[in-house]
Amino acid sequence: MFDLTGRTALITGAGQNVGAGIARTLSSAGATVLVNDLRAERAEEIAEALAANGVTARALPFDVTDRTAIDEAVAAHGPIDVLVNNAGNGGAEAMLPKKFADTGPDDWRGPMEVNLDGVLHCCHAVLPGMVERGHGRIITISSAAGTHGVGIGFAPYSVGKGGSLSLMRSLALEHGRDGITANSVALGVMDSVRAETAAALTKSIPVGRLGSPDDVGAACLWLASNEAGWVTGQTIGLNGGAFTS
Residues 6+ apart with CB under 8 A from 124: 67
Amino acid symbol at 67:
R
Is 58 a residue of the active site?
A: no
Q: How far is the CA of 216 from the CAs of 41, 84, 95, 178, 226, in angstroms?
A: 23, 11, 23, 26, 18
Residue of 9, 19, 116, 157 marked active site: 157
Q: How far is the CA of 181 from the CAs of 127, 184, 206, in angstroms?
A: 11, 10, 30
Question: What's the residue count for the chain?
Answer: 245
Q: How far is CA 162 from the centre of its chain?
A: 13
Residue 164 and residue 142 in contact, taking contact as beta carbons nearer than 8 Å: yes
- Which residues are identified as catalytic? 157
